[in-house]
Amino acid sequence: MLLLGALYAVVPSSSPAAVLTHQLIRDPVVVVYGDSLMSESQSWVVSMLDEAHPAGRVIVRSFPGTAPCDWFDTMRRDAVLRPDVIVLEFAGNGGTRCIAQRAGSEAALLRAYRADATRAVKILQRANTHAEIVFVATPRRATPPLISGSNPLDAVYRSVAAASSRKVTFSAAPERALASNDRAGRLVFRPTLPCLPGERQRSECVDGQILVRSADRMHLCAAFGAGVGCAGYASGVVRFGNAVTSVVLKTLGEDCTFNPDPSPLNPVRVVCPSSAPAPGAVRTARPA
């Protein structure tokens, strides 16, 4: 199964997960662990990071329904990759064998995630002494009655990062990319958001609004499936994927510029000073 032409392929793994690997020339190395939100977004994230930093390698390990504890063995094996940045994206699944018996209530689930996030950091730091580890926030379900406020897991990840001795951070940017604000400034998660500049001419943009969540109001594809990526354009994936990309680039110390309205005349979506083409050079964007 090929994604994005012949650039990205799902390859077998000894873990119960789909693994998207993009082999580039050399460092930086970025490894991302996640659940269904990352399964939907991984092709976008990899292609954006390729544009921003062609001289690197991006490996996304994700599978719907997984939790951090599903990846402990994989994290240990991934030490050979010597990643520079490690991203952890988990929205709060509690149904797999490693966590189900510890997730009988929301409070119990949060305790289990705190313990497992702490353990993940220890595993990753033991194997990758120089790696920067980033927990990224995920959006709440956008179902009525709309709930104001961030995902309860944010506090868990933020506290785990704060308690870690070094090189562990938390970013709320991916969550905020799928939210608006109420009058009190609290996050509100709705199924639609104002169209981005590059979306205003798309058929999916209706009366200035575009769907950013699936019919289940949790996922990002217009029609969610358990595969890799979305069948068609998904604004939620673009927003979430751009936010994750931005987090990675900032962690790498890159001051990058995002193009809000890519076009055939200007197809490049993100440019970083370290990877900008030489004067007079023609650069072609990767297919999305």
For 82-110, write each residue's pLDDT tens digit. Answer: 999 999 999 999 999 999 999 999 999 99
- Is residue 267 one of the residues assigned to a domain? no
**In Å, how far from its chain's centre is CA 238?**
10
**In Å, how far from its chain's centre is CA 165?**
24
Q: What span, in angstroms and rounded, lies between the C-alpha atoms of 160 and 143?
A: 29
Whole-angstrom CA distances from 279 to 259, 272, 276, 284, 286 are 19, 14, 9, 14, 20
Q: What span, in angstroms and rounded, lies between the C-alpha atoms of 54 and 276?
A: 10
235-251 vs 36-52: helix axis angle to the nearest 10? 60
- Is residue 266 one of the residues assigned to a domain? no
Confidence of residue 80 (pLDDT cuts 50, 70, 90): very high
Whole-angstrom CA distances from 97 to 13, 18, 74, 88, 132 are 18, 18, 16, 19, 29
Pairwise pLDDT comparison (246 vs 266), residue with the higher score: 246
Distance between terminal CA atoms of the chain?
Answer: 16
C-beta separation of 176 from 287 below 8 A: no
- Is residue 52 one of the residues assigned to a domain? yes
Lowest mean pLDDT segment, chosen from 56-65, 121-130, 135-144, 278-287: 278-287
Domain that holds residue 122: 2-255
Is pLDDT above 90 for 260?
no
Is pLDDT above 90 for 73?
yes
Q: Is 87 helix (H, G, I), strand (E, B) or coil?
A: strand
Is pLDDT above 50 for 12?
no
Is pLDDT above 50 for 21?
no
What does the pLDDT average to over 143-149? 79
What does the pLDDT average to over 168-185? 93
> pLDDT exceeding 90 applies to what percent of the chain?
60
Q: What span, in angstroms and rounded, lies between the C-alpha atoms of 137 and 150?
A: 9
Give pLDDT, residue 222.
78
- Is residue 70 one of the residues assigned to a domain? yes
Give pLDDT, residue 42.
94
User: pLDDT tens, 198-232?
Assistant: 898 899 999 999 999 998 899 999 776 555 678 88
- Is residue 286 one of the residues assigned to a domain? no
Q: Is 49 helix (H, G, I), strand (E, B) or coil?
A: helix
- Is residue 196 one of the residues assigned to a domain? yes
Q: Is the peptide bond before 28 cis (omega within 30 degrees of 0)?
A: yes
pTM for this structure?
A: 0.84
- The total number of structural domains that make up the chain: 1
Helices (H), ranges, the chain: 36-52, 72-77, 106-127, 153-163, 173-176, 235-251
Q: What span, in angstroms and rounded, lies between the C-alpha atoms of 246 and 74?
A: 25
Task: Tell me which long-range contacts 5-11 makes (C-beta under 8 A, separation of at least 24).
Answer: 5/287, 7/47, 7/50, 7/286, 7/287, 8/43, 8/46, 8/47, 10/228
- Is residue 279 one of the residues assigned to a domain? no
Is pLDDT above 50 for 2?
no
- Is residue 281 one of the residues assigned to a domain? no
User: pLDDT tens, 31-58?
Assistant: 999 999 999 999 999 999 988 888 889 9
Whole-angstrom CA distances from 58 to 92, 208, 239, 279 are 24, 34, 19, 27
Is pLDDT above 50 for 70?
yes
Q: What span, in angstroms and rounded, lies between the C-alpha atoms of 100 and 84?
A: 32
Give pLDDT, residue 225.
57
Query: CB 265: neighbour CB atoms within 10 A?
Result: 5
Q: What span, in angstroms and rounded, lies between the C-alpha atoms of 28 and 173?
A: 22
Give pLDDT, residue 9.
30
Average pLDDT, the chain: 84
Q: Is the peptide bond before 145 cis (omega within 30 degrees of 0)?
A: yes
Amino acid (one-letter) located at 153: L
Q: What is the CATH number of the domain that holds 71?
A: 3.40.50.1110
